[in-house]
Amino acid sequence: AKKFLEEHISKVKDVKEAEKELAKNNLILASWCGEASCEEEFKVNTGAKSLNSPLKQVAMKGEKCFACGGKAKYLFYFGKSY
């Protein structure tokens, strides 16, 4: 199960990449600003929502939010719930 999960998580840099991976039923890992309005817009457009964050966060120096392009604060997993 762990191997299957790891094989179905894709790191993405923008919404276009996210949509491509979500269409394959993968989870995505993305740099995110943490703003509720940003998540809501992404959710409305893709049907995916934030799930959780990795326990170990990396420094977000210069990283941009994959969805809105704002300053990223966290790495976060997103996916669709069925």
Residue written as token pair 């940003």: 38
Cβ atoms 32, 54 nearer than 8 A: no
Q: Exposed e or buried b for every residue in 29-55, given b needs 16+ CB within 10 A?
A: bbbbbeeeebbeebeeebebebeeeee
Chain segment 16-35, per-residue pLDDT in tens: 999 999 999 999 999 999 99
pTM higher than the cut 0.85: yes
Q: How far apart are the C-alpha atoms of 11 and 74, rounded to whole Å? A: 13
pLDDT digits (tens, 9 = 90+) for 49-75: 999 999 888 888 999 999 999 999 999
Q: How far apart are CA 59 and CA 7, in angstroms?
A: 24
